[in-house]
Structure 1
Amino acid sequence: MGPSRTVDVARESGYSVQQVRDLERLGVIPPAGRAANGYRSYTPVHVRALRAYRGLAGAVGPVEARVLLARVRTEPLVEAAAAISAVHVRLTREREEVLRAQEALRAIRGEAADGGPEGGGDAMTITELAGALGVRPSTLRFWEQEGLVAPERVTSLRARRYGVAAIRAARVVAALRAGGYGIPAVREIMASLDRLDGLEATGRVLRERLDRIADRTVALLVAGADLAAVCGT
């Protein structure tokens, strides 16, 4: 039959009794039934929902996890599965962004060793670069205002075009911003890339970002069976 009392659910899910009550109040788990004596009565689904929430919170944060779990519990299976799949896609994209940033950083390191940027390569318009990075053109303009990325300007309309060096810098900036670094910190990091210690420090930052994405991915995978159990409950 599984646990039924609040203390049993807390023990099985790894939360405290108060946390179970708080998460019920927030809608993370379905409302508990009431036993004949008036006490809360839970089912195994409540335990699965709490475990699923723990994994989701590790993958996307507690606020988004609450919203997502509510969708998984109440929407049709097709929509619930799509919502979970979207998280996997997002984590994959974040990982790919960091890998591209690492590649860009290696190129920057090579340029520093050779004494200058490499020639050749295709330039991008602001729309093309924004699409490649998954950001809005206005975000690139903001980065330019903050001194993070320096595009080339051509034509009398001052249309922005980004050369190879600017594209590489933008990839590093995008990865840092996605990792939660504020503008002042990103500016400091980007300014340090002409130094060996700055390049190495940025490399460590990107590796740590990959580690965090891996942890979030594992948390989502661990939650998988519990998410499947609460779909449509």
Structure 2
Amino acid sequence: MRPIDLAREHGLSAQAIRNYDDAGILPPTERSEAGYRIYTPVHAQALRAFLALRGGHGHQQAMEIMRATNQGDTESAYRLIDAAHVALLAERGTRTEVAMALGSLSTTTPTPVHGRPLTVGELARRLGVHPATLRTWETAGIVRPERDRATGYRRYEPDCVRDAEIARQLRRGGYLLRQVAQFIESLREAGGADALRAFLDSWQDRLTVRSRNLLAGAAQLDTYLTLLDQTQQGRTAR
């Protein structure tokens, strides 16, 4: 098989195949008397495995998995695959925590703050908490007060007050500081509760797609490993 024969199946260029070969993504190739690379069905399956792995692991990690496999270091390849599943499970857990926190919030909209920013004492009285609690929340990244340039005192703007009121509600619901901080950060990035709901839906879709891609990559890699074993057994038999 020629580079173009491998490339045609995936809509790639022959140069891309040569690049993948040079990068160690494909197993070692033999050369014809004229110096051309000779590819086999094993190389074709290696390419399928790499492209499938790339969908779930990304280019760099898929390349590292294939390099390890082609070097006979399947233990390292398995570790990389396992690490991807662990990371995905952790991300899935984070998404679940954020969704649960959003669902636990009451439908009552916090009373808007008008006029000047609140001091730490004023906000503490508004929430019914100790000022030290607000400083703990600040350390955890839940609230981000500004500082008065003249006095150095904390100033809690309306968005900061909103975050503090949400934090109080979640803390009363039993959420840990880490969970509250994660939720508040997600809320900030999304741009509000409604936007966060849409973001959570798209986040779930991305997790589902990545899970399927990881499965597809594992299936193609398993087929490749089987071909490698069969090829090795054939050589041993001869």
Equivalent position SS for 1:222: helix
What's the counterpart of residue 221 of structure 1?
215
1:188 Cα offset (Å): 5.1
CA distance in 2, matches of 1:103, 1:52: 37
Q: Distance in 2 between matches of 1:67 and 1:141?
A: 38
TM-score (norm 2): 0.61
- Assess, with a 3 A threshold, how the Cα gap between structure 1 residues 206 and 28 changes in structure 2: closer, same or farther: same
- Corresponding position: 1:88 with 2:99: no
Cα distance change, pair 228–146 in 1 and its aligned pair in 2 (3 A): farther
Q: Does the C-alpha gap of structure 1 residues 76 and 168 become closer, same or farther in structure 2, counting only changes over 3 Å?
A: closer
Amino acid at match of 1:53: F
Deviates more, 1:68-77 or 1:218-227: 68-77
Alignment of 1:53 onto 2:50: yes
User: In structure 1, what residue type is equivalent to 2:215?
Assistant: L
Give the counterpart of 2:65 among 64, 68, 73: 68
Match of 1:205 in 2: 199
> Taking CA–CA contacts closer than 8 Å with sequence separation of 6 or more, which of the two structures ends up with the larger relative contact order?
1
TM-score, normalisation: structure 1: 0.62
C-alpha separation in 1, matches of 2:75 and 2:204: 30
The 8 Å contact of residues 48 and 220 in structure 2, kept in 1 or not, is answered as yes
Change (3 A) 1:56 1:216: same
Residues in 2 aligned to 1:76 and 1:6: alpha-carbon distance in whole angstroms: 26
Unpaired runs of at least 5, structure 1: 118-122, 127-139, 151-162, 177-185, 193-197
Aligned residues: 181
Q: Where does residue 134 of structure 1 map in the other structure?
A: none
| Residue matched to 2:183 | 172
Residue 42 of structure 1: aligned partner: 39
Distance 1:173 1:221, change over 3 A: farther
CA distance in 1 between counterparts of 2:220 and 2:102 reads: 39
**Structure 1: distance between partners of 2:108 and 2:72:** 53
Given that residues 52 and 220 in structure 2 are in contact (C-alpha distance below 8 angstroms), is that contact kept between their aligned partners in structure 1? no
User: Is the alpha carbon distance of 1:172 and 1:43 closer, same or farther for their aligned partners in structure 2, counting shifts above 3 Å?
Assistant: farther
Root-mean-square deviation (CA, aligned residues, Å) is: 3.7
| SS of aligned partner of 1:30 | coil
Using the TM superposition, give the Cα deviation of residue 34 of structure 1 relative to its aligned residue in structure 2, in angstroms: 0.8
Q: 1:101 aligns with which of 98, 120, 124?
A: 98
Q: Quick check: 73-82 or 50-59, which moved more? A: 73-82
Cα distance in 2 for residues equivalent to 1:53 and 1:145 = 44
CA distance in 1, matches of 2:59, 2:79: 19
Cα deviation 1:38-93 (Å, max 9, x = unaligned): 21101222222222222222112212221222123324444433432332232222
On the 8 A contact 2:98/2:182 being kept in 1, the answer is yes
Pairwise CA distance, 1:13: 4.1
Determine the C-alpha separation between the residues in 1 that align with 2:139 and 2:21.
44
Residue segments in structure 2 that go unaligned for 5+ positions in a row: 112-125, 128-132, 146-159, 165-173, 229-238
The percent identity for this pair of structures is 30
